[in-house]
């Protein structure tokens, strides 16, 4: 059964029973803005993801949804797994949003972000 900890305060399990940790907590949660990948394979993977996502064409990503809405698609949609709109809807747009937020945070903090962002109308 999973427990939810806030700082060092223990809360309850799914049955409302108090949970006391048997091992002292060492790690503490960090806000996403406090974590930056600066090198290595994870940074490379992050950069490749951003490069791929920024190369996607919005009109092609939205073609399925425009068809569902009775509108003429502006471009031919992506095929394969993306043919029914689910991967682009759930994965690509989510990742684009996270990359955009990361770029905004980098702009505010003055650090170099991993991606450039462009407005999509």
Residue 77 DSSP symbol: P
Please report whether residue 11 resides in a domain.
Answer: no
Within 10 Å of residue 68's Cβ, how many Cβ atoms?
Answer: 9
Please report whether residue 101 resides in a domain.
Answer: yes
Q: For the whole prediction, is pTM greater than 0.75?
A: no
Please report whether residue 61 resides in a domain.
Answer: yes
For position 86, what pLDDT does the model report?
65
Contact 52, 91 (CB under 8 A): no
Outline where DSSP puts E strands in 1-121.
5-6, 9-10
- Report the distance separating Cα 50 and Cα 39, nearest Å: 15
> What's the number of domains the chain is made of?
1
* Full residue range of the structural domain in which residue 48 is found: 37-116
- Report the distance separating Cα 102 and Cα 50, nearest Å: 11
For position 10, what pLDDT does the model report?
54
Tokens of 88: 């682009």
Contact 92, 61 (CB under 8 A): yes
- From first to last of its 121 residues, the chain has per-residue pLDDT tens of 444 444 445 577 888 888 877 887 788 878 877 888 889 998 898 888 888 878 888 898 888 889 889 999 999 988 877 677 665 555 666 777 777 777 777 777 765 544 444 444 3
Please report whether residue 17 resides in a domain.
Answer: no
């Amino acid at each position: 059964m999973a427990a939810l900890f806030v700082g060092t305060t223990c809360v309850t399990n799914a049955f409302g029973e108090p949970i006391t940790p048997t091992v002292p907590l060492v790690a503490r949660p960090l806000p996403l803005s406090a974590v930056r990948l600066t090198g290595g394979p994870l940074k490379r993977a992050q950069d490749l993801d951003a490069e791929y996502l920024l190369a996607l064409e919005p009109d092609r990503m939205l073609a399925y949804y425009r068809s569902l809405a009775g509108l003429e698609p502006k471009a031919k949609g992506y095929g394969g797994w993306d043919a029914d709109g689910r991967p682009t809807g759930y994965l690509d747009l989510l990742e684009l949003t996270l990359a955009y937020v990361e770029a905004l945070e980098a702009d505010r903090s003055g650090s170099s972000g991993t991606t450039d962002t462009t407005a999509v109308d």
